[in-house]
Amino acid sequence: MPTIDYSLLGPFNVAVVLVLGYLLGSIPFGLVLTRFAGLGDLRSIGSGNIGATNVLRTGNKKLAAATLLLDALKATAAALIAQAVFGHNAGLLAGFAAFIGHLFPVWLGFKGGKGVATYIGTLLGVAPLMVLVFAAVWLSVAFITRYSSLSALIATLVIPVALWILRVEEAALVTAAMTVITYWRHKQNIQRLIAGTESKIGAKG
């Protein structure tokens, strides 16, 4: 991925890219899909989160999978559209904006998801090989620990390090910022992991 020079985009185009990414990222697919399925307001179920994990708590695995896919692809779409219109320099910026849009959607009072799917979608748009790295780390940690949250946290930690080693510094810095935000959004999961009360994959109740 080429080095990003935002000066080549110009302030207006940068603003357009940010707004495009944010608006695409702020689409609450989990909320929309569960309402169409007649399952009520997702925010009143489980953790109240709008992401795929909470959709799974409705008992509908297909809707959860669809939410995961769409939450990822909205960031991918933002990155690819920005690249097509404004050049490669805009893709990472749009993906990051989509990530922020998912976490803080204006339509829901800035109360959104935790960002893991949209993180992956951003990688798919700007550094697709990193999706394989993410998947490999996630699956390995999940197999060993059975903790989905821990798997995601470690995977998001590995990505910026891997990008830095590969000398893709801009992407490494942006994904590092996304990782910090992801950890902040998972602070309750981290507290439960430390306390030993975090639910494991496949656990009942």
pTM, 2 dp:
0.89
Distance CA 6, CA 179 (A): 22
**Location of structure tokens 């219109």:** 85
Q: Could you read off the pLDDT tens digit of each residue along the chain, which spans 205 residues?
A: 444 555 456 788 889 999 999 999 999 998 889 888 888 888 877 777 888 878 888 878 898 899 999 999 999 999 999 999 887 779 999 999 999 999 999 988 898 889 999 999 999 999 999 999 999 999 999 999 999 899 999 999 999 999 999 999 989 999 999 999 999 999 999 999 999 999 887 665 4
**Location of structure tokens 């695995």:** 61
Distance CA 93, CA 6 (A): 9
Angle between helices 11-25 and 91-103 (to 10 degrees): 40
pLDDT of residue 203: 64
What DSSP designation does 104 have?
A: S
Asked if 52 contacts 29 with a C-beta cutoff of 8 angstroms, the reply is no
Asked if 74 contacts 25 with a C-beta cutoff of 8 angstroms, the reply is yes
Output phi, psi for 90, to 5 deg.
Answer: -90, -15
pLDDT of residue 74: 97
Domain residue ranges of the chain, discontinuous segments joined by +: 6-195
